[in-house]
Structure 1
Amino acid sequence: MVTKRVSLVAVAVGASLGLAACQSSTAGGSGAGGDSGMIKQLTFPSDAPNTIGGLVDYNPYSPNALTKTWLYEPLMVRNGLSCEVTPWLATDFEWTDGAKGLTFTIREGVKWSDGKPFTAKDVAFTLNLGKKYPGIDRAGLWNDTFGAAATSVTAEGNQVRIAFGGNAAPKFDELIKLQILPEHVYSAVGDASKYIDKNPVATGPFKVGSYNGRRLVLQRRADYWQADKVKVQQLVLEGQFDAAQASLKLRSGQLDAYWGEIPNPQRAFVDADPKTNHFYYAPNGTTVLSPNVEKKPFTDAKFREALAPAINRQEISDKGTYGIMKPASQTGLKLPLAAKLLPEELAKQETVTKFDPAKANELLDAAGYTKGADGKRTNPDGSPLTLTFSVQAGWIDYQAMADVIVRNLNEVGVTSKVVATAPESVDAQKKSGDYQMLLEYLHGGCEVAKNLGAKLASNQIPTKTTILPNVQRYKDPEVDATVEELSATVDPAEQKRLVGDLVNTMMTEYPVTSLIYAPARIIYNSDKAVGWPSEADPYAQPSDDRLLILTRLRAPGSDS
């Protein structure tokens, strides 16, 4: 059986979005390029760590790379919101033998920045480097973490074939993100993870113009394989800014986009000039309440369920995110973006738990957690019921959320308190399991087996040395079997059925309690460029899909 899962629709969708952006833009603005849509310059914060000093290194697999975005390119770009795939250096892919073989068709006509042709051999070379030097195997291609390890990678003509020792479907997302290296350069450097690349030879939209130790200037490549879509003539990467600095630089025009957090961006930035100042916080995953299900009373699923309606999610959003992020679905999926994965019986139901203290009281009573004359509840055996909420000191949003939750629980008679400790102390509690409640993140990526599945799988419970996704320590052999099946299939109907089983676990067992969606942020000016992703046009996940965003940007007033 051959299964193909590439969405070339994404190309057409992107084109229409780009057109819509140009039609809706306003004339004028610094750097406008008339009908050509060209933008003279955009300035973004530096990609590089703030500890590297003036070290010159463009190796995308180095922790100290000056940029990991704009020079070396991936095989494909998957929209982190819609999960549609946009072909990039690869134009197509096919799964074969279930999910034991994967073939990429490599784009022809692409040139490296030194003029040499890019070929399938460069792709095979890069993937095989991960076997020799595990430090660059970011996709886990050569190990059995979430899918079987590869047994071979070969290139023939314009195709690259990967053979796996078993089903490897969950590796896809990370695999297509791997940045491809030129064999004619990197074959002579030894361990590619340690190579200092001072003169990058890449396929990307820019080449290095200058770097003075703090300011990296990138110049548009006229010979880039999709140069007609790149309208930014010069990209400047400079500085790493805290919220206050970023807000000032955005308002003054010294920054054109920022991907960090600015508290209350509406008031701090947008209100200063609503015509050009904007932000888009897309749902990237879910902030969840993680109880330790190995400790009473959280061993009782009825107790976990009863707490859910006691929590005011809108107030959590207001206090933790200034009302920006919406209350999250208990399914563990990002809705409505992932609605196609929902079981039919849930498709038309409200899956965000309603704030209903009366319902919480009713469920607690029914589960045997009775309320005494003092208004405080006890365990079914009559012992005192007291909960401690561990939260990272200094994490202002988490602390604000925890305060709301604890107040809500006390209001329904569940005696609770917040204990703020150093973030590393909370990490230690996750590893040891020595906690009752804490806030956690449930990743909302497109490979559900690696995200929601990992949150529920017993082999993903943290160890004494490593934090793994199943912090709450949930165990169910049937769920483990479902995750294993989901990891092994690329059939959409089977995926939907299996995801439905995981969703049912979330909705009935409450292994974690969904609170609000967690953001992927972009805060930007539209005076020099339009076509940014927005809630109206969510064509890209704003923090990760930056190459895709680049191909949509145009000068204000241009006709595209």
Structure 2
Amino acid sequence: MLTRSTSLAAAGGLLASLALAACSGGGGTASDGGSGGGAGGGTVAQLTFPAEVQGAVGGLGNFNPYSPNPLTTFWLYEPLIIKNGLTCQETPWLANSAEWKDDKTLVITLRDGVKWSDGQPFTAKDVAFTFNLMKQYPGMDKAGVWTDTFGAPAQSVTAEGNTVTMSFSGNAAAKYDEIIKQKMLPEHVYAKVGDPTKYIDKKPVSTGPYKLASFNGRRLVLERRPEYWQADKVKVQKIVQEGQYDASQAALKLRAGELDAYWGEVPNPEKTFVSANKKTNHFYYAPNGMTVLTGNLQKKPFDDAKFREAISYAMDKEAMSLKATYGVMKPASQTGLKLPSMEKLLPDTYKGKDTVLPYDTAKANQLLDAAGYAKGADGKRTLPDGSPLAVNFSVQAGFIDYQAIADVIAKGMNEVGVATKVTASAPESVDDQKKTGDFQVLLEYLHGGCELARNIGAKLSSKQFPSAKEILPNVGRFSDPSVDATVAALSQATDEATQRTEVGKLVDVMMTKYPVTSLIYAPTRLIYRTDKATGWPSEQDPYANPSDDRLLVLTRLTAPK
């Protein structure tokens, strides 16, 4: 989601503080620096990134991937398979494959030749050990392997040769994405440490591309492992992580070349960073999900799908993008999918069509008229029964992007005769409204990850209504038994064809019943320099989620030609 703490005033101050430095711009365009890397390029001596944890956890050097705050989560311990956060395509990593023998049995086949950083071989026993440790210490089981969360619990995890077999008491297909991304631990180290969530791992033994060179409580230095199983793809010899920076500090350090990449928010990156030197300075904000308009579907007028459809055309998404993201993030597809990266999941009905709802007040007025929301002499519409129609839009005070979007929406709705006012309340108050259902309409985030049963599916499932104690995904209280059946089928699907069929049904619900209205994509960010390394993902080469898929990105980085 967009960062909430940055105010427009602060952004303006940042622009002003950097204005003097902008006169040193070089030639070229933003497209010069994105792609072009690969395994065949030259070596990169060093890249400097921000620290991954705040204040280096008081100087404590803990590399345990299952601790609350490991010093690094990307460069040491590795997953079995990487599922691309943009395209959802899988890249075999420590495992060559993970396949369902049936809906209760997952068979994982490991690659040969992988060694831990202390020279011992990585084996199937290490994988089985890691998952069985989650049973012994439930606090480690973030994937829900041994619980009934999203599928049946595991009954056993066993290793034989280079194969690991995970057997479940019932259908466990929905656990797959979490299982493949768990970080593998060395049995010969972690079998001796007791509760792994409490263990302080100061001398990591891992399978990843780097090993610990030094950590002084503030500055972490990682060195490339020449014996790494795919060392030929790793050209960056050293990674240095140091310091936590706010937007202003990060922009200044990036411009000065003291940082090579930054994954936080910098307001208006085109002006604050890229304009200083278009040859070396770039950014890529990829869609990570989308901001959506959510009405309370148990109250008038949002209980009427025809009303929801009509007002969806009164929303100027280009204006929202400009005011909330400086025009960086694009209007979002009403399908609920990140497009074009998830285009292969689109049902044939919508392929090749523009699924972003246009800003069309004439159509909005026409649909409202046809649905019985008559406009009076004062230009205000009434409900079909003739009673007054007034909408109160709840928005979190201090969420400047949400407030900017809400203002644009309210303006559009008022223009088509739907009397709308925006009420800003403390974020905790809006959270309470989500729990109790005491609201008319608000803004939310629809995650665009690959676990679609948990994302778009949960947004539409009647089993995911919020409770008095917990905010669950279906804040709007959309309910349809056939949709519940679709979500259940999707969560249990073990083959791509079935998954695509069930996703297609959810897409059709989004496009015809408007349970929520998609507005603009929300970003996952990368702001980077190309004077030391090229091959970063970019608008021209969107090959990976720039924040989550850092291991994939690493294998594409190489020295500039």
TM-score by length of 1: 0.92
Per-residue CA deviation, residues 485-505 of structure 1 (Å, 9 max, x unaligned), is 111112322222211211111
**Contact 1:167 1:487 (8 Å CA) reproduced:** no
Per the TM alignment, residue 383 of structure 1 is displaced from its structure 2 partner at its CA by: 2.1
Question: In structure 2, which of residues 441, 447, 452 is the aligned counterpart of residue 448 of structure 1?
Answer: 452
Aligned to 1:479, the other structure's residue is in SS state: helix
Amino acid at match of 2:165: R
Question: In structure 1, which of residues 328, 335, 338 is the aligned counterpart of residue 332 of structure 2?
Answer: 328
When residues 19 and 252 of structure 1 are mapped into structure 2, their CA distance, relative to the original with a 3 A threshold, is closer
Tell me the distance in 2 between the aligned counterparts of 1:40 and 1:424.
Answer: 47
Question: In structure 2, which of residues 205, 230, 239 is the aligned counterpart of residue 235 of structure 1?
Answer: 239
Amino acid at match of 1:90: A
Tell me the distance in 1 between the aligned counterparts of 2:41 and 2:496.
Answer: 41
358-367 vs 50-59, greater mean Cα deviation: 50-59
2:75 aligned residue: 70
Tell me the distance in 2 between the aligned counterparts of 1:350 and 1:69.
Answer: 37
Question: In structure 1, which of residues 519, 532, 548 is the aligned counterpart of residue 523 of structure 2?
Answer: 519
Aligned to 1:402, the other structure's residue is in SS state: helix
Question: In structure 1, which of residues 154, 159, 163 is the aligned counterpart of residue 158 of structure 2?
Answer: 154
1:106 aligned residue: 110
Per the TM alignment, residue 51 of structure 1 is displaced from its structure 2 partner at its CA by: 7.4
1:226 equivalenced with 2:230 (yes/no) = yes
Per the TM alignment, residue 408 of structure 1 is displaced from its structure 2 partner at its CA by: 0.9
**Contact 1:210 1:218 (8 Å CA) reproduced:** yes
1:299 aligned residue: 303
359-368 vs 523-532, greater mean Cα deviation: 359-368
Tell me the distance in 1 between the aligned counterparts of 2:544 and 2:354.
Answer: 26
Per-residue CA deviation, residues 150-204 of structure 1 (Å, 9 max, x unaligned), is 1111111001111122222222211111001111111111111111111111111
Question: In structure 2, which of residues 39, 43, 50 is the aligned counterpart of residue 38 of structure 1?
Answer: 43
215-224 vs 267-276, greater mean Cα deviation: 215-224
Per the TM alignment, residue 20 of structure 1 is displaced from its structure 2 partner at its CA by: 6.4
Per the TM alignment, residue 93 of structure 1 is displaced from its structure 2 partner at its CA by: 1.9
Amino acid at match of 1:78: K
Tell me the distance in 1 between the aligned counterparts of 2:432 and 2:275.
Answer: 41
Per-residue CA deviation, residues 98-157 of structure 1 (Å, 9 max, x unaligned), is x22111111221111111111111111111111121211111111222222211111110
1:281 equivalenced with 2:285 (yes/no) = yes
1:172 aligned residue: 176
Per the TM alignment, residue 22 of structure 1 is displaced from its structure 2 partner at its CA by: 4.0
1:81 aligned residue: 86
Amino acid at match of 2:243: G
Per-residue CA deviation, residues 357-404 of structure 1 (Å, 9 max, x unaligned), is 011111111112111111111212222211121222222211111111
Amino acid at match of 1:293: L
> RMSD over aligned Cα, in angstroms?
1.7
The runs of at least 4 aligned residues of structure 1 exceeding 4 Å deviation read: none
Amino acid at match of 2:524: A
Amino acid at match of 1:330: Q
Tell me the distance in 2 between the aligned counterparts of 1:218 and 1:382.
Answer: 69
**Contact 2:37 2:556 (8 Å CA) reproduced:** no
**Contact 2:224 2:237 (8 Å CA) reproduced:** yes
Any stretches of 5+ residues in structure 2 without a counterpart? Answer: 1-32
Per the TM alignment, residue 309 of structure 1 is displaced from its structure 2 partner at its CA by: 0.3
Aligned to 2:368, the other structure's residue is in SS state: helix
Question: In structure 2, which of residues 413, 425, 437 is the aligned counterpart of residue 433 of structure 1?
Answer: 437
What is the aligned length? 529
Any stretches of 5+ residues in structure 1 without a counterpart? Answer: 1-17, 26-34
Identical columns (%): 66
Amino acid at match of 2:308: R
1:405 aligned residue: 409
1:145 aligned residue: 149
Amino acid at match of 2:52: D
Tell me the distance in 1 between the aligned counterparts of 2:268 and 2:242.
Answer: 24
Aligned to 2:445, the other structure's residue is in SS state: strand
Q: How does 1:246-257 map to 2 (within 5 A)?
A: 246-257=250-261
Question: In structure 1, which of residues 330, 349, 353 is the aligned counterpart of residue 353 of structure 2?
Answer: 349
Per the TM alignment, residue 421 of structure 1 is displaced from its structure 2 partner at its CA by: 2.0
1:188 equivalenced with 2:192 (yes/no) = yes
Amino acid at match of 1:513: T
Per-residue CA deviation, residues 240-271 of structure 1 (Å, 9 max, x unaligned), is 11111111110000110011111111011111
Per the TM alignment, residue 349 of structure 1 is displaced from its structure 2 partner at its CA by: 2.3
Tell me the distance in 1 between the aligned counterparts of 2:225 and 2:549.
Answer: 20
Aligned to 1:284, the other structure's residue is in SS state: strand
1:21 equivalenced with 2:36 (yes/no) = yes
1:91 equivalenced with 2:106 (yes/no) = no
**Contact 1:371 1:413 (8 Å CA) reproduced:** yes
2:490 aligned residue: 486
Per the TM alignment, residue 276 of structure 1 is displaced from its structure 2 partner at its CA by: 0.5
1:11 aligned residue: none
Per the TM alignment, residue 238 of structure 1 is displaced from its structure 2 partner at its CA by: 1.0
Tell me the distance in 2 between the aligned counterparts of 1:388 and 1:342.
Answer: 34
Tell me the distance in 1 between the aligned counterparts of 2:258 and 2:465.
Answer: 45
Amino acid at match of 1:88: W
**Contact 2:37 2:536 (8 Å CA) reproduced:** no
1:552 aligned residue: 556
1:379 aligned residue: 383
Amino acid at match of 2:293: L
Per the TM alignment, residue 36 of structure 1 is displaced from its structure 2 partner at its CA by: 6.1
When residues 20 and 505 of structure 1 are mapped into structure 2, their CA distance, relative to the original with a 3 A threshold, is closer
Per-residue CA deviation, residues 209-244 of structure 1 (Å, 9 max, x unaligned), is 111222111111112111111111111111111111
Per the TM alignment, residue 352 of structure 1 is displaced from its structure 2 partner at its CA by: 0.9
Amino acid at match of 1:72: Y
**Contact 1:533 1:539 (8 Å CA) reproduced:** yes
Amino acid at match of 1:426: V
